[in-house]
Amino acid sequence: MKYFFILLFSSFLFISMKSDKPAYKIFDQKGKESSYKEMLEDAQKADIILFGELHDVSVCHWLEYELASDLFKAKGKNLVMGAEMFEADNQVIINEYLKGLIKDKNFEAEARLWPNYKTDYKKLLVFARDSSVNFIATNIPRRYASMVNKGGFEVLGTLSPQAQQFFPPLPIAYDPELNCYKEILKEMGQTPSHDNENIAKAQAVKDAAMAYFILKNFKKGQVFLHYNGSYHSDHFEGIAWYLKQADPSLKIMTIATSTQDDISEPLAEEIGKGNYLILIPEGMNRTY
Task: Return the pLDDT at 12.
Answer: 40
Cα-based angle 279, 28, 223 (whole degrees, multiple of 5):
95
For each of the domains in the chain, give its residue range(s) and CATH number, in order of start.
23-281 (3.40.50.11550)
Whole-number percent of the chain with pLDDT over 70: 91
Torsional sign, CA 276, 205, 59, 100 = positive
Q: Which amino acid is at 7?
A: L
What CA–CA distances, in Å, run from 149 to 107, 196, 232, 235?
A: 29, 9, 17, 24
User: What is the Cα–Cα distance from 226 to 206, expressed in whole angstroms?
Assistant: 14
Whole-number percent of the chain with pLDDT over 90: 86
Task: Return the pLDDT at 143.
Answer: 98
Please write the tens of the pLDDT for every residue from 3-34. 544 444 444 444 444 568 899 999 999 999 99
pTM for the full predicted model: 0.92
Task: Return the pLDDT at 16.
Answer: 43
Q: What is the mean pLDDT of residues 209-217?
A: 98
Has residue 220 got a pLDDT over 60? yes
Q: What is the mean pLDDT of residues 151-175?
A: 98
Task: Return the pLDDT at 14.
Answer: 44
Q: What is the mean pLDDT of residues 177-201?
A: 81
Task: Return the pLDDT at 15.
Answer: 42
User: What is the Cα–Cα distance from 67 to 233, expressed in whole angstroms?
Assistant: 18
Task: Return the pLDDT at 5.
Answer: 42
Residue from 165, 253, 153 nearest 216 by CA: 165
Kindly tell me the burial class for residue 174, based on how many C-beta atoms sit within 10 Å of its own C-beta (0-12, 13-18, 19 or more). middle
- Bigger pLDDT: 274 vs 11: 274
Task: Return the pLDDT at 29.
Answer: 98
Please write the tens of the pLDDT for every residue from 54-78. 999 999 999 999 999 999 999 999 9
Do 85 and 116 contact (CB within 8 A), yes or no? no
Q: Which amino acid is at 217?
A: N
Please write the tens of the pLDDT for every residue from 196-211. 789 999 999 999 999 9
Q: What is the mean pLDDT of residues 115-125?
A: 97
Has residue 283 got a pLDDT over 60? yes
